[in-house]
Structure 1
Amino acid sequence: MKLRSVVGAVLAAALAATGLAAVATAATVPAADRATGLLALGDFDFSRPEVVATGLTVPWGMDFLPDGSALVAQRSTGQVVRVRPGMQPQPVVTISGITPVSEGGLLGLAVSPTFAQDDYVYVYFTTATDNRIARFRLSAPQNQQPILTGLVRASIHNGGRIAFGPDGMLYAGVGDAGQTASAQNPQSRNGKILRMRPDGTVPADNPTPGSLVYSLGHRHVQGLAWDAQGRLYATEFGQNTWDEVNLIVAGGNYGWPTVEGRADDPRFRDPLLVWTPAEASPSGAAIAGNRLYVAALRGNRLWNVPLDGAGGVGTPTAELIGAYGRLRTVEYGPDGWLWVTTSNRDGRGTPAATDDRILRFPPVDAPPTTAPPTTAPPTTAPPTTAPPTTAPPTTAPPTTAPPTTAPPVGACSVSWQVNQWSNGFTADVRVTNRGASVSGWTLTWTFPGNQQITNGWNAQIGQSGQQVTARNAAWNGNLPANGTVSFGFQATYSGSNPRPSDFQLNGAPCQVV
């Protein structure tokens, strides 16, 4: 293993809102590779929460299906529910064999990155004898297939977070189960981050041949998130002194139980960021744009950590302090909103009448969801199939065509602006409708190379191989004649990064401008 030498400067900020300090250390990277400044992509308006679901019992794992709905695992009941804004949660399945003792139960959940082909959903849970990972097909959820068993279980430190990386592999944070020596034992799978194929077998390129262990020296990893360059960040509970955010590298040793927090010991990798347990107890993590969001349990807040684009972090900001109690999970949704779950019914919080809840927060530039789109007729106008008499002709659909009419061939144009670095890029996509007004839009294209989208905003974006589908968000579906809609995404690539040329809007070819 190539050890990291720390050459970054230490950034410290006293947070006036908390009276406590969070200390950030810049990652070790060549100065020429460091991004200039901290980018502001991924900012959300935390003053405009939308309640997506109420009355849940310790919602723990959460991931999204291609249609934008969320699957949510409830720790204590073992039930998976399907959640959509504006609708009641729908039960999907109750996982068999769950033993919800203390911190155990139904924990992580991950949707297969090839769900459109295989229909698989993955769950991490505690049984009477072990922690394990199983998968089931959403079309037949009663048939649950274990892919990894025998992880040591306990009443504490079960780990449980699972997520698919940009490489298509399944990663799992496994706690030390209260047996601290396990974290430094390479033969034990506890106190580790594991990396496996979707069927649970060992990838050939893991750090140790034949071993699922990807990194070691962990106490209780609770959050896993990748940036646009494919770097893995993990959140971890400390013991009494320091909680951590770590930049994870293959084969890295993160020091527990020899080290808690920073040690400047060449045997171990120091964290990027540490907090006291009172201000954090960090659980789920998500990256949106150039922000790492960390849900804090004991800290009763959401940490907003700037990422500098080169593996380092800036000074974190505390959001939602005390507003919703204990926060367990945070995910960046395909709708471009940030989704957050509470954890006030886990035996350590003070639940409100509607807890536990799932909330989502809009991007800073999103219009209010209660207001109609600017191209829609006012509420006092006739039905949407006819334009209001006071509306300009260009914003209303022609009376001879329904709102959902697809543009004719060549009746759309696409602008594709890229900000690119060595192995990643962001793209700003602007679509202009040259045909009849539509009330819902879908843009499709094929990547010429190996580009892989990691997250997006202002659209619901799905990718299968080289094929990409971007659908409108809930608030920007109306696209009038000559109207333009924009959205963006982050992606990784290697080699060249050619621009797609086969854009289609609602099935009709578009001109690339």
Structure 2
Amino acid sequence: MIIYPGRKNTISLLIFGAAFLAGCSAEENDEQPEENAGETEEAAGSVTEAQTEDWDVEVMAENLDVPWSLNIHEDTYYMTNRGGDVIEVNGGERERLSLNTSDEVANEGEGGLLGFVLAEDFADSREGYAYYTYRQDNGTLANRVAAVERENSQWNETEILLDDIPGSRIHNGGRLEIGPDGYLYATAGDSDEPSLAQDQDSLAGSILRMTVEGEVPEDNPFEDSYVYSYGHRNPQGLAWNSDGQLYSSEHGPNAQDEINVIESGNNYGWPEITGSESAEGLETPVIQSESTTWAPSGTAFFEDTLLAAGLRGESLYAYDEEAEEMNAVFEGEGRLRDVKTEDGDVYVLTNNTDGRGTPAENDDRLLRLTPGE
């Protein structure tokens, strides 16, 4: 194992079963800076204990300033920070590039430059997509999805794809991913107005789906609407398994964080139901944290196991679908904002400099986790 200075290493890998190992070998409660209503003081103490073995850990980048989203292309790591920059790391070289936007990025509360994803043809086009918070002319915070392009050692917004997504100092959602269908998906929080999550005419409290040109796909569930699913509080993770099934992570109101299987047109219940509650026509999560706080943000699949980066839970979690358990498989680095998998490795982005963590020396960091032998 590679040991490096900083927070103590409590590093573990859940043994998911023989088939998984064979594959390996070949906030709310968290996210409320001003309004701490209902915030639980319990951390992730009730997470199921698991048989473990070590990860090999390598620091790929450090001294990052409130990083939020991670993308990997060839040998380069692309990370956003909430202040409005894109950090590019390749080997020992590191560049911090400004993203020039049509309105200034509003780095306020949980807002800022959040989701970021590279175009599928990025190698040729040098294009990508960004989700960021800004102030409208009337002073109200809002979010938008924009097309961006890297040129001349900077990133430039080239087109606004979707505007006027309700925003606030909390509950902005912000995750951005391209699905296996080639469409662009974005998570939008309820903007601290829970009732909007039940309003199909609002973009708030929803998972949104659009073409990469910013058009509404013909097979979206509601006519002329970007809304793909609704009834969400503050979803921050999107990931598809090998069968093309979409999963999302979501912050609950008083713990009760969720992992949801997302189906087109479904209503996921907020604020009508939370946690283990149920009601006709409303979807319940496949797993929820009950009285424990995960504050799950970025998600990714490692083989066919869902991983979720935990903020207040300060762990990387793995969802054991058969046992219906969430297990901490990596911890000791504080708050985790994003997770990606690439070529049999797992990459995690810490988030201790966001004003809610306790930064260690050289935080924040991008870490590469390789399953130990």
Same fold, judged at TM 0.5 (above): yes
Contact between 2:172 and 2:191, CA under 8 Å: does it hold in 1?
yes
Q: Which residue of 2 aligns with 1:326?
A: 335
Q: Which residue of 2 aligns with 1:359?
A: 367
Q: Tell me the number of residue pairs that the alignment of Structure 1 and Structure 2 aligns.
A: 322
Contact between 2:55 and 2:372, CA under 8 Å: does it hold in 1?
no
Q: Which residue of 2 aligns with 1:299?
A: 313
Over residues 130-155 of structure 1, what are the superposed CA-to-partner deviations in whole Å (9 max), with x where a residue is unaligned? 20111222236234322111111100
Contact between 2:236 and 2:249, CA under 8 Å: does it hold in 1?
yes
Q: Which residue of 2 aligns with 1:112?
A: 119
Q: Distance in 2 between matches of 1:112 and 1:296?
A: 27
Residues 192 and 209 of structure 1: CA distance in aligned 2, closer, same or farther (over 3 Å): same
Q: Distance in 1 between matches of 2:100 and 2:65?
A: 15
Over residues 43-71 of structure 1, what are the superposed CA-to-partner deviations in whole Å (9 max), with x where a residue is unaligned? 89753110010111111011122x23121
Q: Which residue of 2 aligns with 1:201?
A: 215
Q: For residues 113-132 of structure 1, what are the structure 2 equivalents within 5 Å?
A: 113-129=120-136, 130-132=142-144
Where 1:182 maps in the other structure, the secondary structure is: helix
Q: Distance in 2 between matches of 1:240 and 1:161?
A: 22
Contact between 1:153 and 1:177, CA under 8 Å: does it hold in 2?
yes
Q: Which residue of 1 aligns with 2:167?
A: 153
Q: Distance in 2 between matches of 1:89 and 1:307?
A: 39
Q: Distance in 1 between matches of 2:55 and 2:361?
A: 21
1:348 aligns with 2:362: no
Q: Distance in 2 between matches of 1:341 and 1:315?
A: 23
Q: Which residue of 2 aligns with 1:487?
A: none
Contact between 1:290 and 1:306, CA under 8 Å: does it hold in 2?
no
Offset of residue 116 of structure 1 = 3.5
Over residues 198-218 of structure 1, what are the superposed CA-to-partner deviations in whole Å (9 max), with x where a residue is unaligned? 011100010112110000000
Offset of residue 278 of structure 1 = 4.3
Q: For residues 386-401 of structure 1, what are the structure 2 equivalents within 5 Å?
A: none
1:317 aligns with 2:317: no
Q: Which residue of 2 aligns with 1:253?
A: 267
Long gaps (5+) in structure 1: 1-16, 18-35, 366-513
Q: Distance in 2 between matches of 1:107 and 1:45?
A: 33
- Aligned pair partner of 1:79 in 85, 88, 107: 85
Contact between 1:61 and 1:73, CA under 8 Å: does it hold in 2?
yes
What is the letter of the counterpart of residue 82 of structure 1?
E
Offset of residue 287 of structure 1 = 0.5
Offset of residue 270 of structure 1 = 0.9
Q: Which residue of 2 aligns with 1:281?
A: 295
- Aligned pair partner of 1:54 in 62, 74, 92: 62
Offset of residue 166 of structure 1 = 0.2
Contact between 1:45 and 1:362, CA under 8 Å: does it hold in 2?
no
Long gaps (5+) in structure 2: 1-9, 11-16, 26-51, 137-141
Offset of residue 93 of structure 1 = 2.8
More deviation, 133-142/231-240:
133-142
Q: Distance in 1 between matches of 2:305 and 2:372?
A: 13
Over residues 87-139 of structure 1, what are the superposed CA-to-partner deviations in whole Å (9 max), with x where a residue is unaligned? 24212333431110010001011111232343211110111122011122223
Contact between 1:342 and 1:358, CA under 8 Å: does it hold in 2?
yes
Residues 37 and 234 of structure 1: CA distance in aligned 2, closer, same or farther (over 3 Å): farther
Residues 362 and 161 of structure 1: CA distance in aligned 2, closer, same or farther (over 3 Å): same
Tell me the TM-score normalised to structure 1 length. Answer: 0.60
Residues 46 and 101 of structure 1: CA distance in aligned 2, closer, same or farther (over 3 Å): farther
Q: Distance in 1 between matches of 2:278 and 2:291?
A: 21
What is the letter of the counterpart of residue 197 of structure 2?
A
Q: Distance in 1 between matches of 2:315 and 2:338?
A: 11
Contact between 1:38 and 1:314, CA under 8 Å: does it hold in 2?
no
Offset of residue 191 of structure 1 = 0.1
Contact between 1:38 and 1:307, CA under 8 Å: does it hold in 2?
no
Residues 226 and 80 of structure 1: CA distance in aligned 2, closer, same or farther (over 3 Å): same
Offset of residue 265 of structure 1 = 1.9
Q: Distance in 2 between matches of 1:291 and 1:357?
A: 24
Residues 46 and 239 of structure 1: CA distance in aligned 2, closer, same or farther (over 3 Å): farther
Q: Distance in 1 between matches of 2:18 and 2:269?
A: 31
Residues 277 and 79 of structure 1: CA distance in aligned 2, closer, same or farther (over 3 Å): farther
Over residues 233-270 of structure 1, what are the superposed CA-to-partner deviations in whole Å (9 max), with x where a residue is unaligned? 00000001400000000001100000112223221111
Q: Distance in 1 between matches of 2:110 and 2:164?
A: 17
Offset of residue 38 of structure 1 = 7.0
Q: Distance in 1 between matches of 2:304 and 2:55?
A: 20
Q: Distance in 2 between matches of 1:162 and 1:124?
A: 7
Where 1:279 maps in the other structure, the secondary structure is: coil
